[in-house]
Amino acid sequence: MFKSTMLKLSYLRRAFLACAVLFGSMTQAEPMTGLGKPITDAELVNWDISVFFDGEGLPDGSGTLEQGEAIWGTKCAMCHGDFGEGVRGYPKMMGADLEEFQETAINNGFNVENRGLNNMWAHAPTLYDMIRRAMPYFLPQSLSADESYAITGYTLYLAEIIEDDVELIDADFLRNLEMPAANLFYTDTRPDVQNTRCMTDCFEGELDVTGKLVQGDFSGGNE
């Protein structure tokens, strides 16, 4: 008698739990109201400064290399060097020329320190975006749209991607500029290796084992 009541109770309990689960999912379906506020593009002018690879998002404005040179001297050279060579370990503007860059990669030479605007940047508008939002490093988002054009042009000049005869850097100029590395990029192909789960007799002969070779003299740059 007592036992069967217990059973009944536990049955009821389970039925109740099932109901609760059902209810749970029903409350999930309640419309999400009263959350957030609509926003317009006009409210986002200061926020949405992102520039796509193809130049979409580049603002109005322009600058010259002379203007860029002046900004470089006061706001950039202390870290990136007078000639963009990079000082105290900060990144350089011009890396190895494309031929040397590719050769070191193919021959497994050391190419990590040879990188710069002329061999790792696929699109000029990206450079504008990065400088305008993140440089100078100690005071990001302090450059105007015009100043950003001028200094973007100047870094391109330091990296020997453009000559000093360019008169005006603006949206059209950056959109139409082909970066030296533009055609080097390809999209992920992994998995590119296929190991197997060998469990016994997986290797015959002498293992070539090396320990620590060098200490502290490797600079991975800012990777």
User: Which stretches of the chain bind ligand HEC, using CB under 6 A?
Assistant: 71, 75-76, 78-80, 90-91, 116-117, 131, 135-138, 151, 155, 222
The two three-digit tokens of residue 95, written as one number: 């890396």
Contact between 7 and other proteins by CB under 8 A: the answer reads no
> x/- site string to other proteins, residues 51 to 70, per CB under 8 A?
xxxx----------------
> If contact means CB under 5 to 8 A according to the sort of partner, which of ligand HEC, other proteins, none does residue 36 touch?
other proteins
Task: Look at residue 67 and give the partner it binds from ligand HEC, other proteins, none, a contact being a CB closer than 5 to 8 Å depending on partner kind.
Answer: none
Dmax (CA) for the chain in angstroms is: 102
Question: By CB under 8 A, what part of segment 123-142 binds other proteins?
Answer: 123, 126-127, 129-130, 133-134, 137, 140-141
Rounded CA-CA distance 208/32 in Å is 62
Residue 76 binding target from other proteins, ligand HEC, none, CB below 5 to 8 Å by type: ligand HEC
HEC assignment per residue over 126-178 = HHHHHHHHHCCCCCCCCCCHHHHHHHHHHHHHHCCCCCCCCCCEEHHHHHHCE
Residue 89, Ramachandran bin (φ over 0: left; ψ between -120 and 50: alpha; else beta) = left
